[in-house]
Structures are given as C-alpha cells and as structure tokens.
Amino acid sequence: MGEKNLKISIAHLYPKLLNLYGDIGNIITLKKRCEWRGIEIEFEEINIGDKIKEHDIYFIGGGQDKQQEEVADELYRQKEFLTEERDRNAVFLGICGGYQLFGHYYQPHDKEKLKGISLMDAYTIAGDKRFIGNVTAKTDFLSPETLVGFENHSGLTYLQGDTKPLATVSVGNGNNGKDKTEGGRYKNVFGTYLHGSFLPKNPHFADYMIELALEKRYGEKFQLEKLDDKLELDTHTTLVGKAY
Ligand code: GLN
C-alpha cells in the first residue's frame, strides 16, 4: 500500500493545561512528517470535559503540579477506556508531567497524591531539587541510537515490572538521577522527561511512532520512506553529549 492512501488519527490531550516548553512542537512534527509523505491526519484536541475517543496516537505534554492536578482527575475518569486503547496497541507519548500521569501516581511536595492511569508500571515522587538541563540518552531500538532534549522536573520516576526504560542516560538525570534510566515504555506507551520540544530534534523517534500507529490501524508493519532530515539530524548531533 503506497503511503498516499494511509491515514492516522491523533489526539492532543489537554493542551490548554499541559503544554510546557513548546511541547506542541511534538504534535506539529507528527503532523508534518505525515503530511510530507501524503499520510492523511485526523486530529482532535481534548480539553477538560471532553470524552476521549478512539485514536491511533495520544499525546500529552508537561506542566506544573497545579495543571497536573486538573488533568489527573479527568484522565482517571477515563482510565478504563485508555487502558483498553493501550491494549489495542494505540501509541501514547507523554512528556514529563504527562508521562508522570501514565504511572500509578505522582506524589507532589506537601500535596495530595495525584492518581495516575497506570498505563505503565511506574510511580513518581517529588524530589528535593529540580533537574534542569540538557539530556542525552541511548536507546537499544533506534538509529541513531541517541535521544536528546531538555529536562526540567523535580519528580523522580521509578519503573517497575514489565515497564522498561526508553533509554539510558549518558548526559543529564533522566527519570530520577540515580538509576541512569530515562523515560519508560510498556507496549506502545512511551514517556519521557525530554522537552525542547522532543520530536523535532528526534525525527527517528517520530517516525517510529508513526510506523507503530500505522501498524495498529492497518494490522501490518510499515517502513516509512525516508525524508531529507539533514537539518533535524544536524541539530540532533549538535546536542548529543552537550550538557550546557
Ligand atoms: N510538575 C512536574 C515536576 O516538576 C512535571 C514538570 C514538567 O512537566 N516539566 O516534576
């Protein structure tokens, strides 16, 4: 099947509340990298009060504790549906605060624990300092292997059970600054602390997500045609190993 007749649907979850440090750039990247290949996009923005419907890709950005509180209740009310979506191999990407809500809970400083939707076996507790700076981390499934981005969080995330790290930190802190893990993955649910935004500087991961979304929708594996990513990958390479 040529890429011309393909379609994927993308939901942007709570962009009015969770969209820190330009996380909207991740949606723009997914849309453009489909458009450049003639893959049709159905797009839906989900805000407080909206019922989340079936999509191929769900994206949620980061935010301060207060915005996370507002979103956590909405997400929790739709936990059963989102778990069914995970088990139908829908692709999820959560950045930082959004990632934290993919786990069982996020325990902020001096506030009530926020319930997560347990899409992955992980939990987050607020640390006593903020991790702020560039991150380079290495995957075992991408080419190039590296992921780069910018972190700004006090939450410390710990992975358990079948939830695996997205990558191993070589520069920066990642999940908790201790176990050298960055992000998490369970089935097609991905979380990362990398802002910046994440996908424009990691086009290979954006394509990986699009291929998974096409496989979920059409029931067969896809290898997308390569794009001219010189600018994106030059930017990526410039940041690899860069601390400040
Ligand atoms: N409020 C969360 C923390 O500080 C997430 C921050 C973010 O999304 N950048 O860990």
Any residues with Cβ below 6 Å from ligand 1, and which?
Answer: 20, 62-65, 68, 96-97, 152-155
Closest of 195, 174, 63 to residue 127, by C-alpha: 174
Residue 123: is its pLDDT beyond 80?
A: yes
Going by alpha carbons, the residue nearest to atom 2 of ligand 1 is 97
User: Across the chain, how many H-helices and E-strands are there?
Assistant: 6, 12
Active-site residue set: 96, 195
DSSP code, position 51: P
The predicted-structure confidence for 43-76, as pLDDT tens digits, reads as follows 999 999 999 999 999 999 999 999 999 999 999 9
* Contact predicate 157/100, CB 8 Å: yes
199, two tokens: 């996908």
How far apart (Å, rounded) are the C-alpha atoms in residues 150 and 94?
14
Q: pLDDT tens-digit profile of 6-47? A: 999 999 999 999 988 889 999 999 999 999 999 999 999 999
For residue 99, the ligand 1 atom closest to its alpha carbon is: 8
Q: How confident is the model at residue 3 (pLDDT cuts 50, 70, 90)?
A: low
Under the banding of pLDDT at 50, 70 and 90, the label for residue 4 is low
Q: Measured in angstroms, how far is the CA atom of residue 189 from the centroid of ligand 1?
A: 19
Place of tokens 């006090």: 154
Q: Are 11 and 46 in contact (CB under 8 A)?
A: yes
pTM exceeds 0.85, yes or no: yes
Q: Give the ligand 1 atom nearest the CA of 64.
A: 1
pLDDT band at 154 (very low <50, low <70, confident <90, very high): very high
Centre of ligand 1 to C-alpha 51, Å, is 25
**Secondary structure of residue 1 in the 3-state scheme:** coil
> How many angstroms separate the alpha carbon of residue 65 from the centre of ligand 1?
6
Tokens representing residue 158 in the block: 């710990």
66, 113, 152: which to mutate for ligand 1, most atoms within 8 A of CB? Answer: 152
- Cα(163) to ligand 1 centroid in Å equals 20
The rounded mean pLDDT for the chain is: 96
Strands, DSSP E only, in the chain?
7-13, 40-46, 57-60, 91-95, 105-107, 114-115, 122-138, 146-159, 167-171, 181-182, 184-186, 189-192
| pLDDT > 70 fraction of the chain, expressed in percent and rounded | 98
Of 4, 9, 6, the residue nearest 46 (C-alpha): 9
Would you tell me how many other CB atoms lie within 10 Å of the CB of residue 134? Answer: 18
